Amino acid sequence: MKDNIMQYAAGEALNIWEAAKDPLNNFLKETSKKPNPKLIKENKYAGNSKYLEIGYIEAKLDQVYHGLWSWEIKHAEQIINGVMIYGDLKVFHPVAQVWIVRSGIGFKEFQLSKGETERTPQNLSEKALERDVPIAAAEAFKNASKKIGNTFGRHLNREFKYGHAEDKEFINRIYNTNKNDENETD
């Protein structure tokens, strides 16, 4: 009887998954698309690393999540010669109907006054905190955004390039419902 209940429950879960997976996969495919190459910038001060501007990311979050997203700085700390920011990006998944959180971290070295080389509070540029803390926060925000998908820059500066790959046998392996597996022995 217990086996029958488990098979029934697995079958019901499979039915629910089958009904939900197409819209989920379609949405995942959208967030896995790469942005227009014209939108990708290069930072000549960081080895020509590629990045997306924060304005694009915010506009894309508005478009993809219909404005249902938020950014919250969870922690800010001075570390040696700069500031580290840690925060959470929350997006409301329009298909799954749940809030998803992606965390990000950013760091910005404090700029020194012209001619100074020693990193002491007295030698910081007059506007160092005013300028460098928001930069660290923006880097943390962009770091969190990348974790959503290629649309937000996940693929940039990585050797491993990928897109969305649908795994049609995934649910069968989870619930061991693949007919071919019934005849296999260990």
Q: What are the residue boundaries of the structural domains of the chain, listed by start?
A: 2-181
Whether the pLDDT of residue 38 is over 70: the answer is: yes
Q: From edge to edge, which strands make up the β-sheet containing 69-79?
A: 69-79, 82-93, 98-109
> With 0-12 CB in 10 A as exposed, 13-18 as middle and 19+ as buried, what is 27?
middle
Mean pLDDT to the nearest integer, 46-70 = 95
Cβ neighbours of residue 181 closer than 8 Å, sequence gap 6 or more: 172
Length of the chain: 186
Tell whether pTM > 0.85: no
Tokens of 9: 């429950």
pLDDT band with cut points at 50, 70 and 90 for residue 106: very high
Whether the pLDDT of residue 1 is over 90: the answer is: no
pLDDT band with cut points at 50, 70 and 90 for residue 107: very high
Task: Specify which residues 78 forms β-bridges with.
Answer: 83
Tens-place pLDDT, residues 110-141: 888 888 887 777 788 888 888 899 999 999 99
Other beta carbons within 10 angstroms of residue 83's beta carbon come to 21
Q: Topology of domain 2-181, per CATH?
A: Enolase-like; domain 1 (3.30.390)
Whether the pLDDT of residue 29 is over 90: the answer is: no
Average pLDDT of the chain is 82
pLDDT band with cut points at 50, 70 and 90 for residue 185: very low
